[in-house]
Amino acid sequence: MWCSRMALRRLQKIAVTPLNITGVLTSNIQREMSTLPRIYVTRQIPPEGLKILRESGQVQFELWNSDDIPVPRKELLQKVKGVDGLLCTLTEKIDAELLDAAGPNLKVLSTMSVGFDHLSLDELKKRGIRIGYTPEVLTDAVAELTVALLLATSRRLIEATHEAKTGGWGTWRTLWLCGYELANSTVGILGLGRIGVAIAERLAPFKVKKFIYTDVAPRPELASAINAEYVSFDELAKQSDFLAVCCALTPETKEICNKNLFSKMKKTSIFINTSRGGVVNQEDLYEALSTGQIAGAGLDVTVPEPLPTNHPLFTLKNCVILPHIASASYTTRDAMSSLAANNLLLGLRGQPMIKELKL
């Protein structure tokens, strides 16, 4: 498992070796550059990744120079025409339409994300396009944010801050803003991978009594690191005081967190999702929260993103919603951009990527 700081230093060191064009005349340099592979970068990615691309001397690239607004679809379809490589983020839908627009030159796609539900994998496989992605480097940041969101939800910190700011803080009251402790609790993990293990490692010092998990199959090697017990999906719902969703979004997990799950959970349980919004049926979650079927929910991901400000979930005091910031630390985002850039350059050279999604 990579620590994001260690990963960034390693990625900086192994950045693909620049081409040596010292002493070449300007006209020759320009001629050389015009024959280099063309790539398009769909977002103003963090500086470490752009530095690697610029200093490699191996590509000519153009980018959508904004981090605030995604590249418009029409613009994207124009810019990808004839490119050899594409570096994207999870906000861009890479489907048959885009791949047709890009044409046969496109050989490598690198996404600055660990998730890949924005990619049409069948279409990419059919065209023989290699895919790089950025797992592991964001494990620490996501685990930290998940713990923070769990605590903010269970101890009602957002509510408390609002009361303090708006005059609700009056005399001391015995049960005012009471929440739920981690001590002696059972923490359930839906989808036990690197992030699930990292979350459990951070929660263990809170004197959690028991860790349980469910997945497509038992994962004894990972589970042994946190002394977690494999249980069925129904038992996960019934036993968990805190339920953290860490699974990938697949056809099998789409809206797997629905009324069937919530109806089996304890009325005192806290539901946390930092994976993908699509694994939750939000209408069922609203019903569970508004009727007291579960005590609270913390979400870093929703459908759609951004979630409209008039969405019913925003009306609930027992629902904490963040704008998809689990990996949002400077170190992690730089590590992700560095890995995405290196994956792209290595792929264009026909070499093994550092992290390649095998189709």
Domains of the chain: 38-137+331-357 (3.40.50.720), 157-165+177-317 (3.40.50.720)
Residue-level pLDDT at 59: 97
Residue-level pLDDT at 200: 98
**What distance in Å separates the CA atoms of residue 263 and residue 288, rounded to the nearest whole number?**
8
Residue numbers in the chain where pLDDT is lower than 70? 1-34
Instruction: List the helix and strand counts (H, then E) for the chain.
Output: 14, 12
Dihedral angle over CA of 35, 37, 38, 43, nearest 10? -140
C-alpha radius of gyration, the chain, whole number: 23
* DSSP conformation class of 353: P
Closest CA to 226 of 241, 244, 210: 210
How many C-beta atoms lie closer than 10 Å to residue 144's C-beta? 16
Residue-level pLDDT at 21: 40
* DSSP conformation class of 204: G
CB 5 within 8 A of CB 144: no
Residue-level pLDDT at 35: 87
To the nearest 10 degrees (0 to 180), the angle between helices 139-154 and 330-348 is 150
How many C-beta atoms lie closer than 10 Å to residue 62's C-beta? 11
240 residue type, one letter: S
The pTM assigned to this predicted structure is: 0.88
Q: Which helix (DSSP H) or strand (DSSP E) does residue 132 occupy?
A: strand 130-132
3-state class (DSSP) for residue 297? strand
Residue-level pLDDT at 19: 44
Instruction: Answer yes or no: 311 catalytic.
Output: no
